[in-house]
Amino acid sequence: MPDRDQPLDLLRELGDVGATPPRLEALHARVSSAIAEEIERESRPRRGGLSGSSPGRSTSGRLGGARRRPGFTRLAGGLVPAVGVLVVALVVGVFLGLRGSGPTSTTPSHSSVAPSHGSVELVYLAEPTPQSPTVTRGALDRTVQTMQARLRALGIGPTHVSVSGPNEITVILPNVRSTAEAEREVGTTAQLSFYDWEANVMTSNGKTVASQLQSQDPTALTISQGAGGNSAPGNPGSGSMGLYQAVELAAKQRGWLSSANSRIGPQYWMFGAPGSAACAAAARAQGVAPVAGQHCLLSGPDDNLTDLRSGLPSGVSASEVQILSVPGGWVVLQAIPANFSHPTPIGAPNAQFFVLKDNIALRGSDITNPQQTKDPNTGAPDVTFGFSSKGKKAFQNVTAQIARRGSLVSRLGQSLNQHFAVTLDNQLITVPFIDYKQYPDGINGDNGGDISGSFTTTSAQDLANELRLGAAPLNLKLICEGAPATTPCL
């Protein structure tokens, strides 16, 4: 038996075999130039920030003040009383609540516990979107600027946002208490999208509602006009379906690719069969009772199978599951929650869904300057935004198209007003109608839009910030939470 220190001594010697001593001068020059590049890069987007080189120019402050006012007055005075279609009833907490609702929402790949003090590092993988199909340096830089603007707007102390790899963005937040807090402050991209509702939502036979309205198909009519009573379009019960049924329907469709899609490529879901051991184990792991006779969501939705599998609850074997893949060009959207402060989790047995063709009319990047304001009449906090010139045109077009269809499908004495849907990520937020008699040519987007409801100033501010980040050209996926001093991310 060798001496217990022999192996380490031997190893120590082996270490220098074939590891030629580094050429320090050359290496030094190399590191110097790399750091010089970093210094240069850092000083560029940061404009008068930490470096303190331009004391008189606080650009961020001026932007906020100068542009804000005119936009605000026009928005508030114009759209709300005139149209009233964009008024969305929202309650505090909905946006925060929605984000974490999926069983495998943003799971960090190697999560490490951050110390209770000190700084937190978050590394995001920037993923392409249909508008930015490749992750370019320009798109990364714009995303970094958007994130910096958001963090500045939140008044968080010194932070450090930088491009840290070919498709990575690193955010460092000193002085936060936990990774959870840091994650909340940085936020994730909340994609706001507008869809023509009837033209894209499907009945269970795989046809769009719009294509079946002229024949006055009863299911199509329910989805378009609601089920009466409290069941307005987009609400649970107005032609909605259970999750498994919805995903199964969407998975049967043929994928199609367009810059109007909200995502690139398929979306994966993992289900267990009714009464299966997998569902029982998953229910146990989640501390809930399994529901008889229903498929259960085990993991997902995810954009890749690796993440999907890693979201499998403990105690569930991968052999007894069913994976469904929704092709690109189709989305499964959760029905408007009955109660925005307690949205139904996506995997809950009573959660309801709609399947839509993923043909976005207008997206987060088409809105400008989202901000928290106050309703001029009631003084309640709300969120107003303008449309970009592209957004104005798109809004006018889609509302005109919706109005035309309304007049086309309505029979004598009937008024089948048609709708558009506003979604945030995979959640329907509201499905307002366009009065085709009042606005036969659609609604002019000059006055922007307004989202109001039971906001507090803070929650309205959060939403505005979230929408601002939603305008980032790339999607961000959290891949590492670390503490730079002790457990740095890669």
> Is residue 483 a contact point for another protein (CB under 8 A)?
yes
Identity of the amino acid at 127:
E
Shortest Cβ 149–another protein spacing (Å)? 19
Of residues 377, 481, 441, the one with CA closest to residue 80:
377
> Is residue 32 a contact point for another protein (CB under 8 A)?
yes
Round to whole Å and give the CA distance between 224 and 235.
11
> Is residue 1 a contact point for another protein (CB under 8 A)?
yes
- Using CB under 8 A, pick the residue from 101, 104, 119, 430 that binds another protein: 119
Identity of the amino acid at 145:
Q
> Is residue 485 a contact point for another protein (CB under 8 A)?
yes
Shortest Cβ 122–another protein spacing (Å)? 12
> Is residue 140 a contact point for another protein (CB under 8 A)?
no
Of residues 123, 124, 111, 120, the one with CA closest to residue 176:
120
Q: 142-163 burial, b if ≥16 CB within 10 A, otherwise e?
A: bbbebbbbbbebeebeebbbbb
Round to whole Å and give the CA distance between 290 and 103.
15
- Using CB under 8 A, pick the residue from 104, 129, 170, 423 that binds another protein: 170
Take residue 488 and report the two structure tokens written for it: 């740095």
* 298 contacts: CB under 8 Å, gap ≥ 6: 103, 270, 271, 272, 278, 279, 282, 311, 312, 313, 316, 321
> Is residue 14 a contact point for another protein (CB under 8 A)?
yes
Interior CA angle at 371 toward 367 and 372, to 5°?
145
Round to whole Å and give the CA distance between 463 and 468.
8
> Is residue 299 a contact point for another protein (CB under 8 A)?
no
Take residue 415 and report the two structure tokens written for it: 């008024």
- Using CB under 8 A, pick the residue from 64, 90, 149, 164 that binds another protein: 164
| 189 in Cβ contact with 475 (< 8 Å) | yes
Comparing CB distances to another protein, the nearer of 179 and 418 is: 179
> Is residue 12 a contact point for another protein (CB under 8 A)?
yes
- Using CB under 8 A, pick the residue from 75, 88, 90, 121 that binds another protein: 121
**CA-CA distances (angstroms) from residue 352 to 202, 286, 452?**
14, 20, 24
**Residue 303 DSSP class:** S
Question: Binders of another protein among 69-88, rule CB under 8 A?
Answer: none
Comparing CB distances to another protein, the nearer of 126 and 400 is: 126
Specify the stretch interacting with another protein by CB under 8 A; choose among 33-41, 264-272, 401-409, 458-466: 33-41
Round to whole Å and give the CA distance between 295 and 302.
18
| 363 in Cβ contact with 112 (< 8 Å) | no
> Is residue 116 a contact point for another protein (CB under 8 A)?
no
Specify the stretch interacting with another protein by CB under 8 A; choose among 17-25, 240-248, 254-262, 319-327: 17-25
Comparing CB distances to another protein, the nearer of 41 and 390 is: 41
> Is residue 108 a contact point for another protein (CB under 8 A)?
no
Q: 83-101 burial, b if ≥16 CB within 10 A, otherwise e?
A: bebbbbebbbbbbbbbbeb
> Is residue 4 a contact point for another protein (CB under 8 A)?
yes
Shortest Cβ 485–another protein spacing (Å)? 4
Comparing CB distances to another protein, the nearer of 26 and 412 is: 26
Shortest Cβ 113–another protein spacing (Å)? 9
> Is residue 44 a contact point for another protein (CB under 8 A)?
no
Take residue 331 and report the two structure tokens written for it: 């989305």
Specify the stretch interacting with another protein by CB under 8 A; choose among 114-122, 332-340, 351-359, 386-394: 114-122
> Is residue 179 a contact point for another protein (CB under 8 A)?
no
Round to whole Å and give the CA distance between 377 and 389.
28
Specify the stretch interacting with another protein by CB under 8 A; choose among 24-32, 238-246, 329-337, 461-469: 24-32
> Is residue 310 a contact point for another protein (CB under 8 A)?
no
Shortest Cβ 27–another protein spacing (Å)? 6
Shortest Cβ 179–another protein spacing (Å)? 13
> Is residue 26 a contact point for another protein (CB under 8 A)?
yes
Pairing of β 353-357 and β 360-363:
unpaired
Q: Which residues bind another protein (CB under 8 A)?
A: 1-2, 4-24, 26-28, 30-32, 34-35, 38-39, 42, 50-52, 112, 118-119, 121, 158, 160, 162, 164, 170, 172, 174, 482-490
